[in-house]
Structure 1
Amino acid sequence: MIKGELKGDGVVLGEDGLSLYEQGGYGRPGGDKLALSAEEALYLAARGRICVGCYSFEQLLGQFMEKSYFLRKFLVYRDIRERGFVIQAGPQDFRVFKRGQKPGTGSSYYLMRVLSERDLIEFSKVAEEVKSAHNMRKQFLLAVVDDEEEITYYEVKISSPMEGTAKPICSHITGNAYENAVIIPANPEDSEFEETMLGTKFDQERIMLSSVEALYLLKKGILELNGGMTYDEYYRRAEENDHELSQKTITYTNLRDLKNIPRTAYKFGHHFRVYSGKKQHSELLVHSLPENESMPMSVISRSVRLAHSVRKKMLFACVKKDNIEYIEFARIKL
Structure 2
Amino acid sequence: MKAEFTDGKITIGPEGKALYTNSGYGRPAGKRLSLSGEEALYLLGRDKIELDGYDFDTLASELSADPKFMRRFLLYRDIRERGYVIQTGPHDFRVFRRGEKPGTGRSQFMIRVLAERDLVGFNEVLDDIASAKNMRKQFLVGVVDDEDEITYYEVKSNEITEGVAENSPAEVTGMLYGRSVVIKTPPESSLEKAWFGTRLDKERLLLSPPEVLYLLEREILKIRDTDISSFSEIAAEEDHEIESKYVVYKDLRDKKQIARTAYKFGHHFRVYSGEKKHSELLVHAFPSEEFMPMSVISRSVRLAHSVRKKMLFASVERNNIEYIEFARIKM
Tell me the TM-score range normalised by the shorter chain. over 0.9
1:263 corresponding residue in structure 2:
260
Deviates more, 1:8-17 or 1:90-99: 8-17
1:9–1:263 Cα change, 3 Å: farther
- List per-residue Cα deviations over 1:251-294 (Å, max 9, x = no partner): 00000001000000000000000001121100000000001010
Deviates more, 1:55-64 or 1:312-321: 55-64
1:321–1:165 Cα change, 3 Å: same
Among candidates 205, 212, 215, match of residue 213 of structure 2: 215
Q: Distance in 2 between matches of 1:268 and 1:81?
A: 37
Letter in 1 for 2:180: A
Q: Distance in 2 between matches of 1:194 and 1:321?
A: 30
1:8–1:89 Cα change, 3 Å: farther
1:228 corresponding residue in structure 2:
225
Q: Are the aligned partners of 2:10 and 2:36 in contact in 1 as well (CA < 8 Å)?
A: yes
Q: Distance in 2 between matches of 1:87 and 1:179?
A: 60
2:56 corresponding residue in structure 1:
57
- Does residue 125 (structure 1) correspond to residue 119 (structure 2)? The answer is no
Please list every run of 5 or more consecutive structure 1 residues that lacks an aligned counterpart in the other structure: none
Q: Are the aligned partners of 1:179 and 1:238 in contact in 2 as well (CA < 8 Å)?
A: no
2:41 corresponding residue in structure 1:
42
Q: Identity, % of aligned pairs? A: 56
Letter in 2 for 1:297: M
2:157 corresponding residue in structure 1:
158
Give 1:68 deviation, angstroms: 3.3
Q: Distance in 2 between matches of 1:191 and 1:49?
A: 74
Deviates more, 1:107-116 or 1:73-82: 107-116
Q: Distance in 2 between matches of 1:180 and 1:34?
A: 69
Aligned residues: 331
Among candidates 248, 251, 255, match of residue 251 of structure 1: 248
Q: Distance in 2 between matches of 1:9 and 1:255?
A: 52
Q: Distance in 1 between matches of 2:241 and 2:254?
A: 20
Letter in 1 for 2:262: A
Q: Distance in 2 between matches of 1:43 and 1:137?
A: 28
Q: Are the aligned partners of 1:313 and 1:328 in contact in 2 as well (CA < 8 Å)?
A: yes
1:283 corresponding residue in structure 2:
280
1:201 corresponding residue in structure 2:
199
Q: Distance in 2 between matches of 1:47 and 1:183?
A: 70
Q: Are the aligned partners of 2:169 and 2:194 in contact in 1 as well (CA < 8 Å)?
A: no
2:297 corresponding residue in structure 1:
300
Aligned-pair Cα RMSD in Å: 1.1
Q: Classify the secondary structure of the residue corresponding to 2:153.
A: strand
1:274–1:47 Cα change, 3 Å: same
Give 1:215 deviation, angstroms: 0.6
Pairs within 5 Å for 1:161-180: 161-180=160-179
Give 1:191 deviation, angstroms: 3.8
Q: TM-score, normalised by structure 2?
A: 0.97
Deviates more, 1:304-313 or 1:60-69: 60-69
Pairs within 5 Å for 1:25-36: 25-36=24-35
Q: Are the aligned partners of 1:114 and 1:144 in contact in 2 as well (CA < 8 Å)?
A: yes
Q: Distance in 2 between matches of 1:38 and 1:191?
A: 67
Letter in 1 for 2:178: E
* Runs of 4 or more above 4 Å deviation: none
Q: Are the aligned partners of 2:112 and 2:142 in contact in 1 as well (CA < 8 Å)?
A: yes
Q: Are the aligned partners of 1:10 and 1:41 in contact in 2 as well (CA < 8 Å)?
A: no
Q: TM-score, normalised by structure 1?
A: 0.97
Q: Are the aligned partners of 2:170 and 2:191 in contact in 1 as well (CA < 8 Å)?
A: no
Q: Classify the secondary structure of the residue corresponding to 1:153.
A: strand
1:242 corresponding residue in structure 2:
239
Q: Distance in 2 between matches of 1:22 and 1:86?
A: 11
Q: Are the aligned partners of 1:96 and 1:109 in contact in 2 as well (CA < 8 Å)?
A: yes
Q: Distance in 1 between matches of 2:66 and 2:120?
A: 22
Letter in 2 for 1:140: F
1:192 corresponding residue in structure 2:
190
Among candidates 289, 306, 327, match of residue 330 of structure 1: 327
